[in-house]
Structure 1
């Protein structure tokens, strides 16, 4: 179940709160290959299952770190629906660390917490702590802080 936010004041009410955990999403080889094509990053550890099985320390292909990062909007929209917007802007990524590789066909999910909300003359600057969890692993794929600017109507 997602949270619906329609104003700066409503967003501020969630400051400091855990916003939840998304359902699992499995990253497939097809998704990895499509990301490689879109970014022109065809490193064999991502796109060559046979070579990766034989030569990589992971025993198979892994998702691009930036692929896992690019899933943030998909996951965020499962947790929070922000309405009454003129515009939303991706503003900043900070304190970001890729902690562990995500193996192909492994489910991941996002855990998010609204760390801070600042009113910039009517524009909401929201700092969100994010952790991508990997099913069956103690160590997350990544941790960091993303910042969105919300221009409410």
Structure 2
């Protein structure tokens, strides 16, 4: 399903067009759903919960993008920015994930690992919404 704003990102090589695959989609949804479940488990450390929540959001957002027939070319965070087009998420929702991406990069590349509990709660809330929207997508027509 072609989306004009994402087609523009194809022209600039941010995204590429690739036919969706039901097996890949199902795997991304399963991975994202399992990670999200574990991220909600308060017995896990805040750092682990953040990592799980961020990666759950990424897997589910990528699943939505792949359902539409697109794949990021190089930039990992574009799956979050595309959520307004792939799932109809409001800008204030996907921007939470954009902030999470910056926080994740600080942790991964600079060793900064202090978890903001409010940000974690917001990531979990938005990712729960994404999971429900992805689950409502029709099966991919092969």
With the length of structure 2 as denominator, give the TM-score of the two structures.
Answer: 0.28
With the length of structure 1 as denominator, give the TM-score of the two structures.
Answer: 0.26
Structure with the largest fraction of strand: 1
Structure with the largest fraction of helix: 2
